[in-house]
Structure 1
Amino acid sequence: MTTRSREARLLYEQLRALEQQARQARRRAGGRYSRREVIQALAKPPYERRVGDQRISDWVPTGDKEPKVPSDRSSDDVLALVRLWSSWAGESVNERHWRNLLEQAQPVRVLRTMSTGPGRPVREFTDPFTLAVHEAIDGGGASGLPLLPLYVERQHDRWLADVVNGLVTRSAGQPGGALAVLVGESSTGKTRACWEALSLLPPDWRLVLPLVPSPAEALIAALTEITPRTVLWLDEIHRFLSGDRGEQAAAHLQEVLNDPRRGPLLVLGTTWPDLWADLVKPREDGDRGDPHAQARALLTRRYYRVPDTFEDTDVPELRRLAASDGRLREALEQGEPGRITQYLAGGRALIDRYETATALQRALIESAMDVRRLGHDTPLPRILLEASISHYLSADQYDLVADGDIERALAKLSEPARGIRGPLTPVTFREPGGPRVLTDDIRLADYLDQHGRKKRRTKTPPTGLWDALMDHASRDSLIALAEAARDRGHLRIATRLLAAGVEAGVPGAAVAAAQFLEEEERPDEALLWCLPLAEAGNVAAMNRVAGLMEATRPDVAVAWHKKAAEAGETHGWLYAGMLLRRAGGFEEAEICFRRAADTGVHGGHGELAYLLQQAGRTEEALVHLQQEAEASGGYAVVETAALMRERGDSGLTVLAWLLPRAAEEGSKDWVGIPWAEHALIRHVAMDALLRSRLCSLVDEEGQDDAVRRTLTALLALAEELAKGDRQEKDTDTPEALRQQGRLAEALGQYQKEADAGRRDAVAHVAALHEQLGRPSEALAWYRRAAEGGDPEVVPQIARLMTAAVGPDETFDWLKSSADHRGEEGDPDQRAAVAEVLRIAGRTDEALAWLRRASQTGDPYAWRQYAELLEAAGRPEDAQGMRRYGWEPCGEISKPWSAVPEACSASVSGCSDVAQSQN
């Protein structure tokens, strides 16, 4: 072992000791122990690792043979071996301890980073267009111009340079990973900026561009092989983090970025603002699941917004370079002010070609726009566009389309102009050294794609487009298209799209179908979709079956949760424990919670602590509650502080534990309730002696100014809390003034609060104006409240506006405002306006309005439509709407079945299967 580190010796000795414990425990239990039995046990669930005898003998040799340090790639096999030996020895597993041992035992990094990994050296990438940098206009045929226009460094370039340089300079001895995503509209220079950043890297760095078989799958595969000093090129990063494998890819990427053995690693990404917002949008109450939880955790605070236009400070350098590059000069002279990159990428030219296209060409472009905004990935199957155009032309126009016209229209649209690609271009590929191969797929120009998302956002897709999608959409887009159909209330179409995905072998389609049907309250049919997969070993399907069983057969649900946990979905231990606890099986629940805690499941220690506390085992409970609080923060911090005080810990002891929790919470830009800060302030407020001691620290000579400021602020908040809620006792609050009849004074205070940004104060201002007999001022403030997203003021607006301008103008304004809020992701006003219309006796108008909102993509409108039918005395229609949805034409769908096709021939047999589980 002279050539190995002390850490390598420690790993070997602890492995040997653990094996000895396992051997002795087996023999005490009357069993046998041999390496062959170890290998056979590792090959079975829950381990399922193929580890040969030779490898174990290398790591833990017998006799005088020199042990070998397990490689990085063997770490999962070693951990499986540790779990097995620990299980036989009756010991719990501290995975963090063993992972640290494995990492520290590795040879020094310099020796490990010299091997080549996936990808190619950065210096070999000399063609920017292979990395999807936009081609630029040709500069009017001028000769001698470089491949790309001369580059003007802007603020986002400087941010990106700081990320890259920071990673490179700390690569010697301080490995790590960095993710940098540029977020901006199409053709604002995002990909070009990433291309320029590559020049900052040393020449021995490599670049990986994962795309095949799909971006997410390719990324997952690349991450298993990634080596230090690598760039991951994730242009259009939403493609890699969406879909069935997107969350897995995000979680894996986060893990690799945090793994010091894999760094330095640079991940460069780009995306559009609306797609970025979808990936990072927090889950809200009432949302159907949290489809991007891992992506949100990965991306938050790792981006920079690229502006649409050049700043004034960038223009002098732009003018200087324009003297040497005619393309820049033309963009300055002829483009819209500041929109230089858009002009260079041909954005204006593409819009001109779209707006002046023939009817057939426009039909092809608009069908591509609609297909993309409904969720279809790029590229688009040509047959899909051809099948769609009849729905974008009048009957007479379509009758005039002759043989060969579509071919000629696509050829015309693919023609480059001024050096940039056309609106619709065929997708080609070329193997190294081989000829260019033309495919049957088509790509819509990015600029037109984004233009269509904005300009056609409120357009209802043609009814027949859904039929074309069901027949010709790409298999990898079927789940996303099903979600778009469901958002619009087209439940039958959503089911058919998911069924097509299952038939085409799309990963996750059956589980998605089951989840969809469960959420639409069709659990029996949902079970038929996922039960066969679960029985075949699909972990996601096991989770879904367990969830479906929880209400009716909790014992079966527990079994499925355990199966999923043993197969790697460790949250199953937590869910099984909760069900067992609810059923009174406390001993089994404790075992499950301990398994959850040991495998690092969020909430595992907390649930175990709660169970132990119920059993009166307070000391044990506190240990686990502290672990939960220190690992995850949140409300566990409040509970831990309370339990420490209940145990009799001194105020200083609790304070010493709380201070690091509050500091950690502050360093993470905490989103949500700052529980650690809340617990800290409340703890100080509850302990007068502690406050006195802290006051003496503030007054202490030589005290650090920063510490003094922090303590002063803490004491001020604690003193205020200790005195009670002064808001309720204060006679000078605006609400107190209003109750005393001092309306003018209350109005003045509420108006100051509204002007300072307090949103709920706006409606109070409006109400006070009305009380004071000022209806026009009240109306203006109520409208301001509505525009700020307050749906509760809609009836007041309707009442005051009707009196002022009449009902028609009133409802036109209300609907326009509600539509605007709905497009911005706040649909509450639509429900309020629909209810006002119904009360006014305009039910048919309300229903038509909600129908249009649903058809254009409002995911809440079709459910509001059903509620309005119920309120209007049409319960059967309401029930049919909720159960079956409606067709794109606006009619409530006739009854349909979601039984899988494989079950259709023997529905009774399938029902028996479902009933046996229920």
Structure 2
Amino acid sequence: MTTRSREARLLYEQLRALEQQAREARSRAGCRYSRREVVQALAKPPYGRRIGDQRISDWVPTRDKEPKVPSDRSSDDVLALVRLWSSWAGESVNERHWRNLLEQAQPVRVLRTVPAGPGRPVREFTDPFTLAVHEAIDGDGASGLPLLPLYVERQHDRWLADVVNGLVARSAGQPGGVLAVLVGESSTGKTRACWEALNLLPPDWQLVLPLVPSPTEALIAALAEITPRTVLWLDEIHRFLSGDRGEQAAAHLREVLSDPRRGPLLVLGTTWPDLWADLVKPREDGDRGDPHAQARALLTGKHFRVPDTFEDTDVPELRRRAAADGRLKEALEQGEPGRITQYLAGGRALIHRYETATALQRALIESAMDVRRLGHDTPFPRILLEASIRHYLSAHQYDLVADGDIEHALAELSQPSRGIRGPLTPVTFRGPGGPRVLTDDVRLADYLDQHGRKERRTKAPPAGLWDALVDHAARDSLIALAGAARDRGHLRIALRLLAAGVEAGVPGAAVAGAQFLEEEERPEEALLWCLPLAEAGNIAAMEQVASLVEATRPDVAVAWHKKAAEAGGTYGWLLAGMLLCRAGAFADAELCFRRAAHAGVHGGHGELAHLLQKAGRTEEALVHLQQEAEASGGYAVAETAALMRQRGDNGLTVLAWLLFRAAEEGSKDWVGIPWAEHALIRHLAMDAVLRTRLWSLVDDEGQDSAARRYVSALLGYVEGLAKGDCREKDTDTPEALRQQGRLTEALVLYRKEADTGRRDAVAQVAALYEQLGRPSEALAWYRRAVAGGDPEVIPQLARLMTAAVGPDATFDWLKSCADRHGEKDYPDQRSAVAELLRIAGRTDEALTWLRRASWTGDPYAWRQYAELLEAAGRTEDAQDLRRYGWEPNGEISKPWSAAPPVVQRLGHARTAED
């Protein structure tokens, strides 16, 4: 035996016990068991390991001889053996346990070099609660239960296992990084699944948990030092990718994941569906900026949705596990059908405690719910709740609150029940080897947080809560809270929150204030917010100042763009060059574009090429246009091909270049117009000689058959295009049938398209039914179109529905539907319904409805309210609302000053000329 004989013996005994379980299970199933069958099974998928009978006999001898300790190189073979025996025995595999056994059984040897990067070995994380896995109910005091309930693998676990195993398997050959995010409601098992996935990692991997001083800053710092064979734990990933530096963190993480020198790297994340949607939502026309462009690029396609309930296929294994774990059994018997993880995490118990709480306790919980849904990060200062509760109690109830009552209520709410934390718990931390330290922050239970977002989404936060947030919110949440205030039309409050951020030294608060004022068409005041910061060297402020003075002082804007570029700003040289072009300073513009192109700025080579082309410097222009096309694709490809033809390049030369671009475009899953493909088709359509030469290649029997088919199809299409025959001539399309008066046939085809998910086809079906004189069926399909988010058909629906059920029922249904879709970012439905209400003479009803929609956070409702006021002849009120917003009680705000806090304190104004 080796110097670790005890650990080696433990490994042998557990392997022998597992083999015996597999043998007995095979026997019960009427199957034969032998080591030869084991060897054969290991050689097949999913194991693919060639392990001889002799090696198995060395590790688990069949006769009375000393077992050998598997070497490091054999660890993967042993794990494959464990997986096979476990599957035969009907057991799940705790790979972390087996990897630890294997490592501990090795002889004592020189310690491996400890990685220089951040984090600790994965095997040292033995407490799941340090990684925010939910504690489980205690099973009515049953003894001997493990920390966590027995685990049942589900579909998202299998997806996650494929991601992790794939990374580990290829780490020796082509190391890289992978990101996997589980998206699901609270207490559905996301973090537990990630914890179980750690079992799949070899024991020499590190785990990094970036939290201090803030999640975003800690992530940026960790990425600068990250080493290969690291797992980055980003539970609640929205905390890391939001806020002032969230985009910087997302961009840095994208860079690290794509760097083979930093891999293998595994990034595990979780988040809730609505927060995920905020991070990946595409930018739309009219949006204020694109706050999550980097996060969207990082996250899109990297997630798996965790269902709220157990699928029917999971229940048999769940029942088998429940026989050995009373907590699972209780969840099966007493919980809602399928909602096992929620019951285990105490979700129902938390709701019960909330619903049966005293008035003071309920006020504390509801103020915490509102603070969170308005955008405050978790945890939050306890003093914020204490300052808020008066607005959640009646005057009489608040008068009865005695000294010490709040302290007592918080203490009761923090008490655990059945092994899970209470609704509101104080935040503590413990340094390495140090005592537990109690902070002044509190945390709302996740389950109640999500419950509050759903149940209170239509309730307006008390007006006094906004004042409490200005005075007591955590500094890192002030910008997010300002955004929530602005979405609701509370412009004065939004600016107060940003001013509080400036005074607290929050990075980005002053620039955010300037952007806010610029977008609200108050550029002079916006300049006061960002000019001092720009003069101090802040790049974002420099860019903001340049943007503010572009229209009135383009020469000053050019100077600021150049300063920003010299300080490290991305687009400064490009924007300066564009302004100089407009002013006719082409020589200076050329110098700026060259610097932008040299820095690799998107569009730099393209703008330079256009300038050179206008100056008649075609050869130079073509060089830069090609570089733009090869780096960024897009329209530059078509422009380059046109310029190559204009220069007189051979058709085959242009074709060869375009083919490379088309191949690159296809390999990158190009979204939008396939410019390279269009340019390729156009080039062939313009060159009959080239098409003839390509047809000769198609006729060459020596060519690859797949290539011949592709070229043949392409040339056939292009020939038709060249002859003008590629117009739509199919008389069997639904629109063509409709134009021919064949309405019934068109209806059949449109219904098929609607059933496959084509949204505009639903409205076509409704219109055809109406045209055929079948109003009831038309009404049903118009309702389906509106329910699917289509606002264009609302007038038609209102007309038919009013005739069928009357105006009151019609507008009640329309408002309900528009409210639902307003929350899903279809505000045009609310606008359309509000306009119909106004036309029907129900303006006050429309205004009340839009005011309530604004309370839910619809960022368009208060602006639609202003439009409705203007249409009703209340022009002055509409103008005041647009400029000053309104108060939480619904009154239009009085004029307020937008001077920045520094100016207010010093009592003087600062202008751009300073």
TM-score range, shorter chain: 0.7 to 0.9
1:267 counterpart SS class: strand
Q: Deviations over 1:777-829 (max 9, x none)?
A: 32222222222222121122222222222211111111111111101111111
Q: Quote how far apart the aligned CAs of 1:768 are.
A: 3.1
1:236 counterpart SS class: coil
Conservation of the 8 A alpha-carbon contact between 1:231 and 1:266: yes
Q: Deviations over 1:75-127 (max 9, x none)?
A: xxxxxxxxxxxxxxxxxxxxxxxxxxxxxxxxxxxxx9964222222222111
1:197 aligns with 2:197: yes
Q: How does 1:416-565 map to 2 (within 5 A)?
A: 416-565=416-565
Q: Deviations over 1:393-447 (max 9, x none)?
A: 2233323323222222211211111111111111011111221111111101111
Q: Quote how far apart the aligned CAs of 1:561 are.
A: 0.6
- Match of 2:80? none
2:891 counterpart SS class: coil
Q: 1:692 to 1:584 in 2, by over 3 A?
A: same
1:266 counterpart SS class: strand
Corresponding letter in the other structure for 2:775: P
1:304 counterpart SS class: strand
1:771 aligns with 2:771: yes
2:262 counterpart SS class: coil
1:880 aligns with 2:880: yes
The two structures, once aligned, show a CA RMSD in angstroms of 2.2
Task: Give the distance between the partners of 1:861 and 1:559, measured in 2 at CA.
Answer: 39
Conservation of the 8 A alpha-carbon contact between 1:645 and 1:654: yes
Q: 1:640 to 1:393 in 2, by over 3 A?
A: same
1:290 aligns with 2:290: yes
Q: How does 1:504-903 map to 2 (within 5 A)?
A: 504-698=504-698, 700-701=700-701, 703-715=703-715, 717-719=717-719, 721-722=721-722, 724=724, 733-903=733-903
Q: Deviations over 1:545-568 (max 9, x none)?
A: 011111111111111111111111
Q: Quote how far apart the aligned CAs of 1:217 are.
A: 0.8
Q: Quote how far apart the aligned CAs of 1:732 are.
A: 5.3
Task: Give the distance between the partners of 1:201 and 1:582, measured in 2 at CA.
Answer: 58
Corresponding letter in the other structure for 2:802: T
- Match of 1:238? 238
2:324 counterpart SS class: coil
Task: Give the distance between the partners of 1:185 and 1:663, measured in 2 at CA.
Answer: 41
Q: Deviations over 1:591-611 (max 9, x none)?
A: 111111111111111211221
Q: Quote how far apart the aligned CAs of 1:716 are.
A: 5.3
2:832 counterpart SS class: helix
Pairs aligned (count): 803
Task: Give the distance between the partners of 2:324 and 2:723, measured in 1 at CA.
Answer: 71
Q: 1:905 to 1:480 in 2, by over 3 A?
A: closer
- Match of 2:356? 356
1:169 aligns with 2:169: yes
Corresponding letter in the other structure for 1:864: Q
1:253 aligns with 2:253: yes
Q: Quote how far apart the aligned CAs of 1:623 are.
A: 1.9
Task: Give the distance between the partners of 2:906 and 2:435, measured in 1 at CA.
Answer: 51
- Match of 1:28? none
Q: Quote how far apart the aligned CAs of 1:743 are.
A: 4.0
- Which is worse superposed, 875-884 or 348-357? 348-357
Q: Quote how far apart the aligned CAs of 1:724 are.
A: 4.2
1:375 aligns with 2:375: yes
2:375 counterpart SS class: coil
Conservation of the 8 A alpha-carbon contact between 2:187 and 2:341: yes
- Which is worse superposed, 734-743 or 847-856? 734-743
Task: Give the distance between the partners of 1:117 and 1:496, measured in 2 at CA.
Answer: 42
Task: Give the distance between the partners of 1:659 and 1:875, measured in 2 at CA.
Answer: 59
Q: Could you tell me the percent identity over the aligned residues?
A: 86
So what's the TM-score if we normalise by structure 1?
A: 0.84
Q: Quote how far apart the aligned CAs of 1:583 are.
A: 1.0
- Match of 1:414? 414
- Match of 2:107? none
- Which is worse superposed, 380-389 or 397-406? 397-406
Task: Give the distance between the partners of 1:337 and 1:689, measured in 2 at CA.
Answer: 70
Task: Give the distance between the partners of 2:764 and 2:615, measured in 1 at CA.
Answer: 49
Task: Give the distance between the partners of 2:568 and 2:576, measured in 1 at CA.
Answer: 14
Task: Give the distance between the partners of 1:514 and 1:295, measured in 2 at CA.
Answer: 23
- Match of 1:50? none
2:140 counterpart SS class: helix
Conservation of the 8 A alpha-carbon contact between 2:502 and 2:901: no
Q: 1:769 to 1:597 in 2, by over 3 A?
A: same
Task: Give the distance between the partners of 1:547 and 1:756, measured in 2 at CA.
Answer: 46
Conservation of the 8 A alpha-carbon contact between 2:881 and 2:893: yes
Corresponding letter in the other structure for 1:263: G
Task: Give the distance between the partners of 2:271 and 2:632, measured in 1 at CA.
Answer: 30
Task: Give the distance between the partners of 1:763 and 1:330, measured in 2 at CA.
Answer: 49
- Which is worse superposed, 485-494 or 693-702? 693-702
Task: Give the distance between the partners of 2:122 and 2:681, measured in 1 at CA.
Answer: 53
- Which is worse superposed, 890-899 or 783-792? 783-792
Q: 1:744 to 1:316 in 2, by over 3 A?
A: closer
Q: 1:266 to 1:748 in 2, by over 3 A?
A: closer
Q: Quote how far apart the aligned CAs of 1:717 are.
A: 4.5
Q: 1:270 to 1:725 in 2, by over 3 A?
A: farther
Q: Deviations over 1:658-712 (max 9, x none)?
A: 2333333333333333333333343344444444554555554365454345445
Q: 1:681 to 1:312 in 2, by over 3 A?
A: farther
- Match of 2:226? 226
Q: 1:907 to 1:380 in 2, by over 3 A?
A: closer
Conservation of the 8 A alpha-carbon contact between 1:113 and 1:228: no
Q: Deviations over 1:11-70 (max 9, x none)?
A: xxxxxxxxxxxxxxxxxxxxxxxxxxxxxxxxxxxxxxxxxxxxxxxxxxxxxxxxxxxx
- Match of 1:34? none
Task: Give the distance between the partners of 2:541 and 2:682, measured in 1 at CA.
Answer: 45
Corresponding letter in the other structure for 2:328: L
Corresponding letter in the other structure for 2:188: T
Unaligned runs of 5+ residues in structure 2 are: 1-111
Q: Deviations over 1:463-514 (max 9, x none)?
A: 2211111111111100000000000000000000000000000010000000
- Match of 1:89? none
2:804 counterpart SS class: helix
- Match of 1:267? 267
Conservation of the 8 A alpha-carbon contact between 1:685 and 1:719: yes
Corresponding letter in the other structure for 2:445: A
Conservation of the 8 A alpha-carbon contact between 1:113 and 1:227: no
Q: 1:746 to 1:232 in 2, by over 3 A?
A: closer
Corresponding letter in the other structure for 2:321: L
Task: Give the distance between the partners of 1:779 and 1:695, measured in 2 at CA.
Answer: 54
2:212 counterpart SS class: coil
Corresponding letter in the other structure for 1:178: V
2:894 counterpart SS class: coil
Task: Give the distance between the partners of 2:888 and 2:601, measured in 1 at CA.
Answer: 43
Task: Give the distance between the partners of 2:286 and 2:843, measured in 1 at CA.
Answer: 26
Q: 1:452 to 1:714 in 2, by over 3 A?
A: farther
Task: Give the distance between the partners of 1:804 and 1:858, measured in 2 at CA.
Answer: 31
1:139 counterpart SS class: coil
- Which is worse superposed, 605-614 or 897-906? 897-906
Task: Give the distance between the partners of 2:725 and 2:306, measured in 1 at CA.
Answer: 45
Conservation of the 8 A alpha-carbon contact between 2:717 and 2:726: no
Q: Deviations over 1:576-600 (max 9, x none)?
A: 1111111111111111111111111
Corresponding letter in the other structure for 2:483: E
Unaligned runs of 5+ residues in structure 1 are: 1-111
1:365 aligns with 2:359: no
- Which is worse superposed, 756-765 or 369-378? 756-765
Q: Quote how far apart the aligned CAs of 1:267 are.
A: 1.6
Conservation of the 8 A alpha-carbon contact between 1:884 and 1:896: yes
- Which is worse superposed, 899-908 or 428-437? 899-908
